[in-house]
Amino acid sequence: MRVVVPFAAEQPKTRLADVFTPAERRELARVMLDDVLRALREAGHTPEVLTTATIDVNVPTIVDDRPLNAAVNAVLADGSPVAVVMADLPLATPDAFARLFASDADVVLAPGRGGGTNAFVTRHSSFRVDYHGASYRDHRERAREVGASVATIDSHRLATDVDESTDLVEVLLHGTGETRRWLEERGVRLDTSGDGRVGIRRDDTTAV
């Protein structure tokens, strides 16, 4: 089965602009990608990166600068079984990916916490994606419309993607890979000084 990891190479993670500079956001995106690729390899898979621009990475790459839906659907058009895993899942582990691949359903979905789709497997040649809006709900319905059986993987590690500064809390609490180390080296810390909710802060000595 092909395993494809989409990656926005040029302007990633704009919603983290309140914490990181553009250069740091690019670096963070790459560190998260490397964590995902490492976990996939340790789970026994050979991932490919579907990237918007050429990058230096030690796995096969497909360069496609079209929007995400068009680029992923071009991969699915081949009709072969495919897994698509987002590049910003720094909590993902080989065991979490093993659960994703273990189901024999035609379409296996790993939803994100905000209603998105963080990873999926499709063995149905007619399944296509639409990542806008509540894509987990929409992908479930699209699968049923083409007659595919559907399974959902309930996984905190696959559900945690990083888009906003509050998502960094989960990485600092539960991360075991390079992404957590990268954050700590740049002075990103848990902030428990609020009204009961844990946030993040960045040490002044390392802030840019």
Domains and CATH numbers, the chain: 2-164 (3.90.550.10)
Number of Cβ within a 10 Å radius of residue 157:
21
Per-residue model confidence (pLDDT) at position 194: 75
**Cα angle 33-152-70, degrees, rounded to a multiple of 5:** 50
Number of Cβ within a 10 Å radius of residue 30:
19
Per-residue model confidence (pLDDT) at position 204: 64
In angstroms, how far is CA 42 from the centroid of its own chain?
17
Q: Give the span between the Cα atoms of 90 and 177, in whole angstroms.
A: 7
Note the pLDDT tens digit of each residue in 117-135. 999 999 999 999 999 889 9
Note the pLDDT tens digit of each residue in 20-61. 999 999 999 999 999 999 999 999 999 999 999 999 999 999
Note the pLDDT tens digit of each residue in 127-172. 999 998 899 999 999 999 999 999 999 999 999 999 999 999 999 9
Residue 107 β-bridge partners? 122, 150
Q: What is the dihedral of CA 189, 198, 133, 86, to 10 degrees?
A: 40
